[in-house]
Structure 1
């Protein structure tokens, strides 16, 4: 009984004083996020040596929206792919996409200078449009490689069904057909 009498006023005063502090913290964090989103992404200098954050995930984070989300989703798909359920060709395509094709695409876009971007626009090309097309092409190749894994699974099941129909269900039937 004594604990309840102490806890209730303590909880009341704690919430009265804590709520404004939490609210102020959330407002401040929201303002900082808005400022970060409004800040332009610095472009790396052309010909500069690769930095430690010159990996595909780090480069994807420097892309403008919605390309950032698309590239990160593609990276997640490549990371979570069932490599052990794919054939050699599918594994090769996914590894190349993860280690070479996607990083090279992101690097090429991020290394565009303002002058190069302007030159592309004057020629009727959009750097963002080219990036989108290239990311979609990589995603399509990844999808096809993953679908080949399903095709291999279907082939195994079809082959098993064919063998059951051809030789029967039991081991004795197989032995009998081998002896004749």
Structure 2
């Protein structure tokens, strides 16, 4: 530790800002990148050496949350950030947060038990399968993935647009499927006049296309690299908005399930009441022979 004398209090104030900077960096969309994690760790190390010996402990707690949010999912795109986070954990343990070893050890065991490295490969096959389903649904015949223009709906023209990031196109594939599913479910349940139906149609026909068109108006050379707001690029903002729309459609589908399930439960109660009563009414009485009565 370096003794700064009367200026030591400034180190602790700066340490508080370092915590905020670390959280904002690693939990942002760019937190998947190794350079972002390393950059967030630099002020933590410097301020700890200058006298803020308490700083590694809250940062270590946030690092546990980082591992939980990035590793327990399709972590392939965050591989660099996770490797940098492992190095950061070793550094934090050397700076005083030695307790970090135990939660990371058990978290690693849980990660391996829940799929481990296979998690990094699960999302891609699923997305490819959904893309392949789109032309098959539209034509009735399986076609190559390279012909998504055969898909129906207002989102179809964007599914093969090379100007869009791969993640955004995968999200649009999912939106195309989910919104169609939601609209069909609500129509079959006779709920075409409900708010959920109008929202699902608006997501399909207005909100998602407008988000994509706004992204396509950005300069091509800066759309994926230029920061627009809160450290987010145009590609990151588009992905964030499409994810919100996917969550909204999923909520509508879940509500449709509850509505249909309630109707099924009501019908089941009716059947139980109806046929339980009929069983009593239709029960054949046992006739006792007259000879047996005399006895």
Normalising by the smaller structure, the TM-score range is 0.5 to 0.7
Shift in Å, 1:170: 6.5
Q: Which runs of 5+ in 1 are unaligned?
A: 1-54, 174-180
Shift in Å, 1:104: 0.8
Q: Which runs of 5+ in 2 are unaligned?
A: 1-153, 280-295
Pick from 218, 228, 235 the counterpart of residue 128 of structure 1: 235
Shift in Å, 1:145: 0.8
Answer yes or no: is 1:69 the counterpart of 2:170: yes
The aligned length equals 117
Match of 1:153 in 2: 260
Check 1:131–1:154 CA distance in 2 against 1; reply closer, same or farther (3 A cut).
same
Superimposed CA distance per residue, residues 50-109 of structure 1 (whole angstroms, 9 cap, x where no aligned partner): xxxxx5322343212122122123213323442423532332121111111111111111
Match of 1:5 in 2: none
Given the two structures, how large is their TM-score scaled by the length of structure 1? 0.53
Alignment check: 8 A CA contact 1:105 1:134 kept: yes
Alignment check: 8 A CA contact 1:102 1:138 kept: yes
Alignment check: 8 A CA contact 1:60 1:72 kept: yes
Shift in Å, 1:136: 0.7
Shift in Å, 1:115: 8.5
Alignment check: 8 A CA contact 2:227 2:234 kept: no
Alignment check: 8 A CA contact 2:167 2:239 kept: no
Pick from 178, 185, 210 the counterpart of residue 104 of structure 1: 210
Instruction: State the alpha-carbon separation in 1 of the partners of residues 181 and 271 from structure 2.
Output: 34
Match of 1:57 in 2: 156
Match of 2:249 in 1: 142
Pick from 180, 191, 196 the counterpart of residue 90 of structure 1: 196
Instruction: State the alpha-carbon separation in 1 of the partners of residues 169 and 175 from structure 2.
Output: 10
Instruction: State the alpha-carbon separation in 1 of the partners of residues 227 and 168 from structure 2.
Output: 21
Match of 2:80 in 1: none
Shift in Å, 1:119: 5.3
Match of 1:78 in 2: 179
Alignment check: 8 A CA contact 1:59 1:107 kept: no
Instruction: State the alpha-carbon separation in 1 of the partners of residues 178 and 237 from structure 2.
Output: 21
Given the two structures, how large is their TM-score scaled by the length of structure 2? 0.34
Check 1:70–1:119 CA distance in 2 against 1; reply closer, same or farther (3 A cut).
closer
RMSD, matched Cα: 2.9
